[in-house]
A and B are shown apart, each in its own frame.
Chain A
Amino acid sequence: MKEFLAMGGYAFYVWTSFGLTFVVMTAIVLSSIYQRRQAINSVKRQAAVARQRADQKNSL
């Protein structure tokens, strides 16, 4: 295990590369999830506004 982590003396270069890739790809996934949440909230908000307008029209 220790030998594996040492990467033949290249530990810093190898693990920084894999770590950086992991961080960037995680950020991509989180951002996709965030965008989806935003989109769903925006649709719900607009639907609520449309319903309110329709109700106001009916009560007039």
Chain B
Amino acid sequence: MFQWFHRLASLKNFYRLAEIITPWLAVLCAILLAVGLYRGLVVAPTDYEQGESYRIIYVHVPSAWMSMFVYMVIAFCSAIYLVWNMKLADIVAQASAPMGAAFTFLALATGSLWGKPMWGTWWEWDARLTSELILLFLYIGYMALRGAFENSAAGAKAAAILALVGVVNIPIIHYSVEWWNTLHQPASITKFDTPSIHISMLIPLLMMALGFKLFYLVNMFSRTRSMILEREASTSWVRNRAQENNL
């Protein structure tokens, strides 16, 4: 187990592994997003309460889930980096942060565009919305902190600690709709009993959610590989591949 862990942690092996699986993930991602979009916008029936406006769910909920998922990836990688000083974990966290911020922005913006026709307001200082906004600030703080240090290792350590402290916000976001009486509707999918959404609406949502996850993975792998190249530019394996024109 530890040997396997160690091998994966090698930047060279990760570079090769990501190179092999990324095209497959990209194809799967494109199919899921195309079919999910078609089924969500065209096939899924109109909601009897919200009319057609509910279709915003197909971009809003996947973005919101990704905003939390990417943060958990960053926090997990930060813990591994702080404990075992594993360079790869730090690179993955660094590559993920801008995408996490982008998904958080999308969750907030599409939520606002959904809130206006349904609640009659673009913004309300309700628990779910406020905690999601704090998540956006955590991402921005994480990236700013990394950039603020001359010494990049010191910046990485400081940012990793910030990421771990910020984890406390994740359960607050998730449970905010239960703990506080809010404007935001409670979870309709991630409940233990059966989801309160019709299957013809649920399937495209799950396809979009998986599509978003693969989209993140494809871009994260690509960015991680770019960062590995920059860090390992002077090593023999990168030099050899550069010579073969096979980076």
Asked if B142 is at the interface (CB within 8 A of a chain A CB), the reply is: no
- What's the interface size class on B, roughly? 35 or more
Which residues of A have CB within 8 Å of B53?
Answer: 7-8, 10, 13-14
B56: min CB distance to chain A, Å: 5
Q: Which residue of A lies closest to B56 (CB)?
A: A17
Asked if B182 is at the interface (CB within 8 A of a chain A CB), the reply is: no
Known contacts A18-B59, A50-B234: does B116 contact A13 (CB below 8 Å)? yes
Asked if B39 is at the interface (CB within 8 A of a chain A CB), the reply is: no
Instruction: Scan A3-16; emit 1 where CB is below 8 A from any B CB, else 0.
Output: 01001111001101
Which residues of A have CB within 8 Å of B116?
Answer: 13
B88: min CB distance to chain A, Å: 16
Which residues of A have CB within 8 Å of B234?
Answer: 46, 50
Known contacts A21-B63, A32-B222, A40-B247: does B56 contact A13 (CB below 8 Å)? yes
- B interface: dominant SS: helix
Q: Which residue of B lies closest to A47 (CB)?
A: B242
Contact of B52 among A8, A25, A38 (CB under 8 A): A8
Cβ contact within 8 Å between B114 and A13: yes
B96: min CB distance to chain A, Å: 11
Number of inter-chain CB pairs below 8 Å: 97
Which residues of A have CB within 8 Å of B120?
Answer: none
Cβ contact within 8 Å between A20 and B110: yes
Complex alpha-carbon distance, A44 and B233, angstroms: 9
Which residues of A have CB within 8 Å of B230?
Answer: 38-39, 42-43
Complex alpha-carbon distance, A36 and B247, angstroms: 10
Contact of B113 among A13, A27, A35 (CB under 8 A): A13
User: Quick one: which of A24, A25, A31 has the most chain B CB within 10 A?
Assistant: A25
Which residues of B have CB within 8 Å of A33?
Answer: 222
Asked if A29 is at the interface (CB within 8 A of a chain B CB), the reply is: yes
Complex alpha-carbon distance, A36 and B223, angstroms: 7
Which residues of A have CB within 8 Å of B128?
Answer: none
Contact of B233 among A4, A31, A43 (CB under 8 A): A43
User: Quick one: which of A9, A33, A35, A46 has the most chain B CB within 10 A?
Assistant: A35
Instruction: Scan B13-52; emit 1 where CB is below 8 A from any A CB, else 0.
Output: 0000000000000000000000000000110001000011
User: Quick one: which of A8, A9, A21 has the most chain B CB within 10 A?
Assistant: A21
A54: min CB distance to chain B, Å: 11
Contact of B59 among A17, A35, A40 (CB under 8 A): A17
Asked if B82 is at the interface (CB within 8 A of a chain A CB), the reply is: no
Which residues of B have CB within 8 Å of A32?
Answer: 219, 222-223, 226
Q: Which residue of B lies closest to A34 (CB)?
A: B226
Query: Nearest 3 pairs between A and B by C-beta?
Result: A8-B52, A39-B226, A10-B53
Apart from A4-B42, A10-B117, A20-B110, 5 more pairs, CB < 8 Å: A10-B52, A24-B102, A27-B102, A28-B102, A46-B234
